[in-house]
Structure 1
Amino acid sequence: MSNIRVEKQGRVGLIGLDRPKAMNALNLDMIRDLDAALDRFQTDPDIHCVVLNSANERAFCAGGDMRRVRELVLEGQFEEAETFFREEYALIERIAGFAKPFVSLIDGICMGGGMGLSVHGTYRIATERAVFAMPETAIGFIPDVGGSYFLPRMPHQCGIWMGLTGASVRGFDAHGLGVSTHMTVAESLPQILDELCNSRRDLEDIFSDLCATLGYQPEVLMLAETTMCFDQPTLCSILDCLKQYQTKSQNRALEALKSASPRSLQETLTLLRNGQERTLSECLKQEYEAICLAIRHPDLAEGVRAVLVDKDHKPNWSS
């Protein structure tokens, strides 16, 4: 049974993520079904744009199915795990260069692979319930799916902060960082989808009428104080800087760094610093090289156990 709903509605190729019990966590079959859907819509002259949404309001997509990745790792099936990431990254690169507008309607949790599917597309319409995060260092992994491309390009070192600490953003913060292109309320999503499917109007006009967008206004971005320490060159200097302040947000960042995998933190900082000067394709290549090492390191299996399997949140890091 497929966890992807694919249908043609008017001028829209609609793809719905539908794996509710796993909060739409992506597995290899879903990646391949998504790719097949793009094959279908790319060649259909009646399709004006592709819309990706979720069949449930709790989550847009909670990321890749890391429980399954852990199972493969424990079984020594590293090639199958690598296949998942290789095909996922190829799908992300395809979305980024897709010839037709790619629209994500984001309601609920959007983490890891969910950000990979959406942030590289043309439009990201986020509701008041949308929550964005890259929480991989907490499970002994790295912020991949092009994270080394889009995170270091965020203003005020916010992407470095998100990638290292796993912190979440929503609302005006997510919009100011460029994670969403437009904001709306959840109750407006059916009307937006109907307009996209059945109206002949330009997409920009539809979003202008039915969504809110403030553009890039760094002066209203209140995250700058929280993330000021993340311009430091090393993990040690970031930690030292955070220890000098007693604000709640910086204390939360400090605690997150202390609880994350030391190896993952170092690898993440290196990837993000290098990614600032690289293309998306180059970033995905460096991430793939990094995940081939990460899945063979014991911190990944231990981190997934602690956070997603046993949920005791007490990982015993080997690094």
Structure 2
Amino acid sequence: MRQRPTRNLVNAFVRHTTGVLELNRPKALNSLNHEMVEIISEALDTWRDDDSVHRVVICSSSERGFCAGGDVRTCREEGLAGDFDSGDRFFRAEYEMNRQLADFPKAIVSVIDGVAMGGGLGVSVHGSHRVITEKAFAAMPEMAIGFIPDVGTTWMMQRMIGESGEALPELATFLGVTGWRMTPADMLWSGLATDLIASEDVDRFIDAVIAESLDDALEQYARPVDFVDGGELEGFLPDIRATFGHDSWAAIDGALEGHGNADFVARVRDLTEKASPTSVVAAVELYTANRAARDIVHALDNEFAVGSVLRREHDFPEGVRAVLVDKDRSPTFDPSATGDVDVDFYRTILKHR
């Protein structure tokens, strides 16, 4: 079994020719804070041009999960105290880390065993290999907290290619707006994950990557897709194509109203029932803008521009309160209907970037 230090919120070390980034904040399910982001960024900067480091492994020290997201509770507390600059600095640092991961010239092997949500996807999906287990699940649940999908996922997920053999931007919009909880089968089918191993083999797999090679480790421990139960997402693809391929929430909403699969429409309505109407409208505008973004830097800039506005508005602190603080799941969002959201406001923000 791999020997590892357990002193820091992220244990960053090199073994043989592998750099290891081990998320080590188990009590918070590895939710990323500014210190964790800085440790990861510094390590990536050091290893990028170090010829003795051939690959990077990103994993968790906890059996409870990979990473539950970013530390938005702290951002809420700071904002309520009138300090939005700290949140701006955190998100800028996190997005720069996402860019580093996306542009890293060597293999990055993320090992996702358990939860990966929000910022947990930002620290894992931009690398070359997204290795999951049968315990993995993923989601972008930002609609419920008055925010938008970010950390570069509005760029990456519109361009990932899974078993369909093509990029599916409408699928990315569906996943972000509904917060759909992806099963291991969903993650593999969509292209969010590239490989599958057994949870019981995680340590042995990482040991093999370090002691031998990534190819040898995958040859020894990779499992076939039928190792996990099938997911629902693939079956909904015709419905998603028919309804979520539009450029605005108003158009998507209209397509849903006239769509023939009542079961699918009911699922979407159920998933978005507790969503912030402002977030839903802003998110679709963001996905539309990032479909045509020049590169991930442009996409991250768009995410920051919209997110920094939302963090200063009513729905973000209220959504975080309802989901993460009081946990009553009964937010009072304002406006309370998507038709009352000023869509032109968000279009103006994105048009000038």
With structure 1 as the length reference, what TM-score do the two structures score? Answer: 0.91
2:277 aligned partner:
262
Aligned partners of 2:157, 2:185: CA distance in 1, in Å? Answer: 17
Q: Does 1:234 align with 2:248?
A: yes
Contact 2:23–2:59 at 8 Å: present in 1 too?
yes
Of 31, 42, 62, 2:68 maps to 62
- SS in structure 2 at match of 1:265: helix
TM-align CA RMSD: 2.0
Larger deviation, residues 150-159 vs 13-22: 150-159
- SS in structure 2 at match of 1:149: helix
Cα offsets for 1:15-51 (capped at 9, x unmatched): 1101111111000011011112223433543321110
2:305 aligned partner:
289
Aligned partners of 2:128, 2:224: CA distance in 1, in Å? Answer: 15
Cα offsets for 1:139-165 (capped at 9, x unmatched): 000001012202333527221111101
After superposition, the Cα gap between the structure-2 partners of 1:128 and 1:47, relative to the gap in structure 1 and judged at 3 Å, is same
Q: Does 1:85 align with 2:91?
A: yes
- SS in structure 2 at match of 1:51: strand
Q: Does 1:207 align with 2:218?
A: yes
Aligned partners of 1:273, 1:205: CA distance in 2, in Å? Answer: 40
Of 300, 307, 318, 2:316 maps to 300
After superposition, the Cα gap between the structure-2 partners of 1:60 and 1:226, relative to the gap in structure 1 and judged at 3 Å, is farther
Aligned partners of 2:63, 2:265: CA distance in 1, in Å? Answer: 31
Contact 1:48–1:101 at 8 Å: present in 2 too?
yes
Aligned partners of 1:248, 1:19: CA distance in 2, in Å? Answer: 40
Q: How many Å apart are 1:247 and its aligned residue?
A: 4.8
Aligned partners of 1:298, 1:47: CA distance in 2, in Å? Answer: 46
The gaps in structure 1 that reach 5 residues or longer are 215-219
1:217 aligned partner:
none
1:116-155 correspondence to structure 2 within 5 Å: 116-153=122-159, 154-155=167-168
| Count, aligned residues | 312
Contact 1:92–1:116 at 8 Å: present in 2 too?
yes
Letter in 2 for 1:155: L
Q: Does 1:177 align with 2:190?
A: yes
Q: Does 1:14 align with 2:20?
A: yes
1:161-172 correspondence to structure 2 within 5 Å: 161-172=174-185
Letter in 2 for 1:288: F
Letter in 2 for 1:77: D
Aligned partners of 2:274, 2:87: CA distance in 1, in Å? Answer: 26
Q: How many Å apart are 1:248 and its aligned residue?
A: 4.4
Contact 2:198–2:223 at 8 Å: present in 1 too?
no
2:228 aligned partner:
none
Cα offsets for 1:245-269 (capped at 9, x unmatched): 5654532211222321111111100
The gaps in structure 2 that reach 5 residues or longer are 1-6, 160-166, 226-232, 336-353
Of 20, 25, 29, 1:23 maps to 29
After superposition, the Cα gap between the structure-2 partners of 1:2 and 1:252, relative to the gap in structure 1 and judged at 3 Å, is same
Larger deviation, residues 243-252 vs 116-125: 243-252
Aligned partners of 1:245, 1:70: CA distance in 2, in Å? Answer: 41
Contact 1:174–1:180 at 8 Å: present in 2 too?
yes
After superposition, the Cα gap between the structure-2 partners of 1:222 and 1:204, relative to the gap in structure 1 and judged at 3 Å, is farther
Larger deviation, residues 90-99 vs 249-258: 249-258
Aligned partners of 1:44, 1:152: CA distance in 2, in Å? Answer: 32
2:332 aligned partner:
316
Cα offsets for 1:171-190 (capped at 9, x unmatched): 22211211111111111212
Aligned partners of 2:44, 2:12: CA distance in 1, in Å? Answer: 10
After superposition, the Cα gap between the structure-2 partners of 1:23 and 1:248, relative to the gap in structure 1 and judged at 3 Å, is farther
1:5 aligned partner:
11
Of 212, 224, 229, 2:237 maps to 224
Contact 1:242–1:254 at 8 Å: present in 2 too?
no
Contact 1:112–1:135 at 8 Å: present in 2 too?
yes
Aligned partners of 2:195, 2:171: CA distance in 1, in Å? Answer: 19
User: Percent identity among equivalent residues?
Assistant: 34
Letter in 1 for 2:10: I
Aligned partners of 2:90, 2:272: CA distance in 1, in Å? Answer: 28
